[in-house]
Structure 1
């Protein structure tokens, strides 16, 4: 963890941001009169949506489309308020 004073941070902000962005520094603390007042840290990358696909693979039994759709009429009747 690097600590820089606020004057240095103002005059070399691009260099400090690049250091955090590239991972050379995990965080940079900015201090005023020797007291820490702010932290410069990288923003966590957004989770890759493509990695979520198949998250539950193998947890449920496989079924055919006909088996999956077998209860459609019964479910529709329940939504329409008809007794089972």
Structure 2
């Protein structure tokens, strides 16, 4: 992790961004105190999940969207 001042980053922002792209984490200081951190983002997986990945592993019950029974509702409400 590298510590640099606001003035330093102003003078060479593109160079610091390239260093971050290479994997470095940079902490920016103002008045000797850290104010921000620039670090590489977590790379998202390249492949998307296939549609129907868990097909057949569970079944949605027919009453899924029916109102909850009164006893359960009262428990949620703390009665």
The alpha-carbon deviation at position 44 of structure 1 amounts to 1.5
Q: CA RMSD in A?
A: 2.8
Match of 2:42 in 1: 44
Q: TM-score, normalised by structure 1?
A: 0.55
Match of 1:35 in 2: 33
1:20-69 deviation digits (Å, cap 9, x = unpaired):
1012x1x100000100000111121121225x45xx7xxx8xxxxxxxxx
Q: Distance in 2 between matches of 1:35 and 1:13?
A: 19
Match of 1:19 in 2: 19
Structure with larger Rg = 1
Question: Normalized per residue, which structure has more helix?
Answer: 1
Q: TM-score, normalised by structure 2?
A: 0.58
